[in-house]
Chain A
Amino acid sequence: MTALGAPAPAAQAGASSAGHLVVTGTSKRFGAAVVLEDLSLSVAKGEFVSLLGPSGCGKTTLLRCIAGLLRPDAGRITVAGQDITALPAHRRNVGVVFQNYALFPHLTVAENIGFGLRAQGVSRAEAAPRVAEALALVRMGEHADKPVTSLSGGQQQRVAVARALVVRPSLLLLDEPFSALDRKLRETMQVELKHLLREVGITAIFVTHDQEEALVVSDRIAVMNSGRIEQLADPATLYGRPVSLYVLDFVGQSTRLAGRIVAVEDGVVTVETSLGPVRAPGRFAPGSRVAVAVRPEAVTLGEGVAGANRVSARVSEISFLGSRTQLHLDLPAEGEDRGVVELPRLPEGVQPGSRVTLAFREADTMVFPA
């Protein structure tokens, strides 16, 4: 395991404090469509970063540029201080786990894992123990001689990971690695894979459109929007302090109310919304159109703490989620207003149609330009 995780000597020699993977000013267009726009990103050694965004935001294009499967139109990509922008894919030593794993159906499990070693000229005798080690690492030892087509989804993923890791890449890229698995298995594999990669000590980039998955597997998440990184932060910051409505909506749920600034004092603005005035920390000119938002678990029913925002709303729907209960609020249908509140336990007497008072702290309230 340690041998597998040991970085290649070249990678160590060239390491710099600037970050293990550094993408600078990278652009890519397909015809008239700009897919990556002057994008920059720095990832530290051993860090797990997710590229999160809807399809078409450029996350897979960025991954393919890093892997060398696409050539960016502009910009520079370095790994461990070495400029790899012009290197072809087969000389980059960047491992990739593909969306549908792209295992070779004409080879067995062990042959799939040994493929990269053989391609790099490692002799059969030298490759065998390393393949065995990789098989053991992903707990697939007993399946070594099976055809890959006979494996389950989770097993196929393990083989794909082992195949990418066995050549000791300087970087591992994973393209929607869990999308082919069913929900239950996905949750297990997320934790398992995170643990495994941590043990190996590799730097990993996950591409995903699933915000829950990104929150589970990443140290930091880059939320991407039309070819650019909208926000790059750790999961807690991203969730608690999103920089834009786009990030707010993409990561987690929230109650969101459109409004207009009616008062400004000492870095606190008062916003007139469809549910009444709401105060939030922020700096906006009076009269600006804004949206205020609060995360579902930051809201309590009743009066709340002193000085909290209080609004009154009608409950439209109640969803029991097991560990918590979700209330949906009845808001005017026009506009993008919506209301979601999550409570550890449903207070007695609250049912669809009930009018409730919601309280949330000023500090938990966010305000964005609309």
Chain B
Amino acid sequence: MTMDRLGTGIAWTALILVIAFLLLPIVVVIPVSFTESTVFRFPPEGFSLQWYGRIRNVDGLLGALWLSAQIAALSTATSLLLGTLCAIALVRGLVPGAAAITTFMVSPLMLPGLVLGIALLQTMREVGLRDAWWSLYLAHVVITLPFVMRTVLASLSLFDFAMVDAARTLGCSYPKALWRVLVPNILPGFISGALFAFIASFDNYPVSMFLVDVRTKTLPIQLLNYLEISPDPTLAAVSTVLIGLTVIVLILCDRLVGLRRMASI
């Protein structure tokens, strides 16, 4: 009995320590962003919103935020469309060697970002694509596609394609049948795939590093640049904003399909 209780106690302690280890560094950023001090220090001194105000004034920060949001949103949308169509072909066995292709399509997940970045840089040079925005967009489609593929493949494997046939015999053209029947049924996989993909693109450093130019910098690269020049709590303010946005998105997803359903994909 006492042994049992002891075991439970140890398990709980371990759990709490792990959670603290995971969450504390993130949580500490929030109070630091409200400090009056000019250095990145915990506990914060006083209270001010000056660092939030500075986000607007720091050169290139808002621009980088806007660029990252653009690239992440567009590459995720592209991947959702391409990834879903690829996943349908693979799940339905419409192409020979579906298993091999599936492994290939999700392989960028297992490849170090550095390798992918150098390879993409080389490729873009070879084909003569010098524009940083388009390079970043194409590279981020490569980054985001595996995330979408993985979750959409998982939801599709549970989907009964007879439903699409049923919709067609009831008067829907094939694209309309996919939209009316397939999309609502794989929505949880769709949303969690999109979420992972967006985040993977938004905070990608190793691949983007090779493709940015002086005027076109994504947020992670801009933040690191800034940190090297002036390590003040502006970064904490930016992080807090991002944490806030993430929480809002998660709440929306929960309302929409339920986090439990998304986590199960």
Instruction: Give me the interface of A with B, judged by CB distance under 8 Å.
Output: 67-69, 88-92, 94-96, 98-100, 102-106, 115-116, 119-120, 163-164, 167
Contacts and interface: CB of A to CB of B under 8 A. Distances in A.
A98 B171 contact: no
Leading 8 A-B pairs by shortest Cβ distance: A116-B170, A102-B162, A119-B171, A102-B166, A89-B168, A120-B171, A96-B169, A106-B184
B169 A119 contact: no
Contacts of A95: 169
B163 A96 contact: no
A69 B160 contact: no
A113 to B, nearest CB: 10
Interface in B157-195: 160, 162-163, 165-174, 176-177, 180-181, 184-185
A167 B171 contact: yes
B163 A102 contact: yes
Contacts of A89: 165, 168-169
A38 B172 CA distance: 30
B113 to A, nearest CB: 37
Contacts of B165: 67, 69, 89, 96, 98, 102
A119 B162 contact: no
**Which of A67, A96, A100 is packed against the most chain B CB atoms within 10 Å?**
A96
Contacts of B174: 88, 90
A126 B174 CA distance: 25
Given A90-B173, A102-B162, A119 B185 contact: no
Contacts of A88: 168, 173-174
A196 B170 CA distance: 20
Contacts of A92: 169
- The residue among A91, A94, A106 with the most chain B CB atoms within 10 A of its own CB is A106
Contact of B180 (A98, A103, A119, A163): A119
13 contacts: A67-B165, A67-B169, A69-B169, A88-B168, A88-B174, A90-B171, A91-B171, A98-B165, A102-B163, A105-B185, A119-B180, A164-B170, A167-B171
B238 to A, nearest CB: 39
Contacts of B169: 67-69, 89-90, 92, 94-96, 164
A115 B185 contact: no
Contact of A116 (B160, B163, B171, B173): B171
Max chain A C-beta neighbours (<10 A), residue from B168, B171, B173, B177: B171
B173 to A, nearest CB: 5
Interface string B217-245: 00000000000000000000000000000
Given A102-B165, A119-B176, 14 more contacts: A68-B169, A69-B165, A90-B168, A90-B171, A90-B172, A92-B169, A102-B166, A103-B163, A103-B166, A104-B163, A104-B185, A115-B170, A116-B171, A120-B170
Interface residues of B, number: 19
Interface of B: 160, 162-163, 165-174, 176-177, 180-181, 184-185
Given A104-B181, A105-B185, A163 B162 contact: no
B167 A119 contact: yes
A67 B164 CA distance: 13
Contacts of B170: 90, 115-116, 119-120, 163-164, 167
Nearest to A88: B173
Nearest to B181: A104
B106 to A, nearest CB: 27
A99 B163 CA distance: 11
Contacts of A120: 170-171
Nearest to B159: A105
Contacts of A98: 162, 165-166
Of the listed residues B170, B174, B184, the one surrounded by the most CB atoms of chain A closer than 10 A to its CB is B170
A103 B166 CA distance: 8
A150 B162 CA distance: 19
Nearest to B161: A102
A120 B168 CA distance: 11
Contacts of A100: 160, 162
A15 B180 CA distance: 34
A277 to B, nearest CB: 54
A370 to B, nearest CB: 40
A94 B173 CA distance: 14
B162 A99 contact: yes
Contacts of A94: 169
A99 B162 CA distance: 9
Nearest to A95: B169
Contacts of A103: 163, 166
Contact of B168 (A69, A104, A106): A69
Contacts of B160: 100, 102
Contacts of B167: 104, 115, 119
Contacts of A91: 171
Nearest to A89: B168
Contact of B185 (A69, A106, A167): A106
Nearest to A94: B169
A102 B166 CA distance: 7
Nearest to B160: A102
Nearest to A107: B184
A89 B167 CA distance: 9
